[in-house]
Amino acid sequence: MAELRKIAGEFRDEIMDGIAWVAVWKTGRSWNGRVFWLDEDGMIEDSEMDSAREIVAEDGCAVLINEHYCAHMGNGTIGDIAKGIRFHYGNGYNRLAESTAYRPRPADCGEDGEFRLLSGSTDRYGIYQLKDGPELDRFRFESSASLVRSGITDGSLGAIQPANYELVYSGNLSGMEGTTQKEKLEEIFIKLNISHPEGYKGHSLSVSDVVVMHESGENRAYFVDSFGFILLPAFMCRLLERHGMGSGQAEKTDGNGPVPECRDPQSDRQAE
């Protein structure tokens, strides 16, 4: 675990000189730091903006500090700087995501964003939520048990269709502490209920939402249930077919059993 005093010592000169800006953020319990230079318009340089966005995606509470503008660094000792960083971070002051030097990436949603999610080389996740409209209220915030009990769908959850959903957010899986998909799903759930990342436009992750995981070139969709997550082979098949992508991506296993080959989605059954 990187200690805050170590970060304060490593970036002391940049923080105290008042020329460069230093982003400080947390990954799990570890502290991280990085120097950013601003252009003549007071913006983080274009070549580094994506790195700043990655930091915000990893920690929405990340701060961007510079003693000349932010103060609270005391006499400039390592201890004082560490206290100053903690002051800004703990109180939500000078957050990178809210800085005039930062420019968020346009929401990576819509059909183009969905295609990049499903086919990109980067491990990512996508959050799907039901579209607006009273005709979908019978699905909204309903658990799998409730949907089956009311006769809306059978145990395969085949009635959960991408056509009724929209992609509201896509984020990177990098930096997550979990090693299994279950652990990462739980981490995503906590993150999207406690601290919404920059650019997140949906409601807090809830029952009836769908999480799509694109990892190591494989795609899987999960229904957010009352307790845990349920694999949605039919949903994933429809999503791949919408973009003319091969069914081979769904012919995998994930520890819950085999994911069915894409065929008539209505005939798919939940993996045991």
Q: Are residues 241 and 144 in the same domain?
A: yes
- Residue ranges making up the domain that contains 64: 4-98
Same domain membership, residue 161 and residue 94: no
Cα atoms found within 13 Å of the Cα of residue 236, Cβ hemisphere only: 32
Residue 76's pLDDT is: 87
- Does residue 151 lie in a domain region? yes
| CB-based contact 108:116 (threshold 8 Å) | yes
166 within domain boundaries: yes
- Among 72, 98, 124, which residue terminates a domain? 98
The pLDDT assigned to 194 comes to: 86
Q: Is residue 272 part of a domain?
A: no
Span 217-234, pLDDT tens digits: 999 999 999 999 999 999
> Is residue 179 in some structural domain?
yes
Same domain for 248 and 116: yes
- pTM for the full model? 0.55
Could you tell me if 133 and 140 are in contact, meaning their C-beta atoms sit under 8 angstroms apart? no
How many angstroms separate the first and last alpha carbons of the chain? 39
- Is residue 28 domain-resident? yes
The 10 Å CB-count burial string (b at 16+, else e) for 221-259 is bbbbbeeebbbbbbbbbbbbeeeebeeebbeeebebeeb
| Sheet with 124-130, edge to edge strand ranges | 165-172, 124-130, 210-215, 218-224, 229-231
- Count of structural domains within the chain: 2
Lowest mean pLDDT among 93-102, 180-189, 199-208, 257-266: 257-266
Same domain, 125 and 84: no
- Comparing CA positions, the residue from 81, 85, 83 lying closest to residue 61 is 85
Residue pair 187/151 in contact (Cβ under 8 Å)? The answer is no
Q: Is residue 104 part of a domain?
A: no
3-state helix, strand, coil split of the chain in percent (to 5) is: 35, 20, 45
What the block records as the tokens of 261 is 């080959």
Structure tokens at 66: 């510079």
Q: Summarize pLDDT for 75-117 with one digit per residue, the tens.
A: 889 999 999 999 999 999 999 988 888 877 655 566 678 888 8
d(CA 13, CA 20): 9
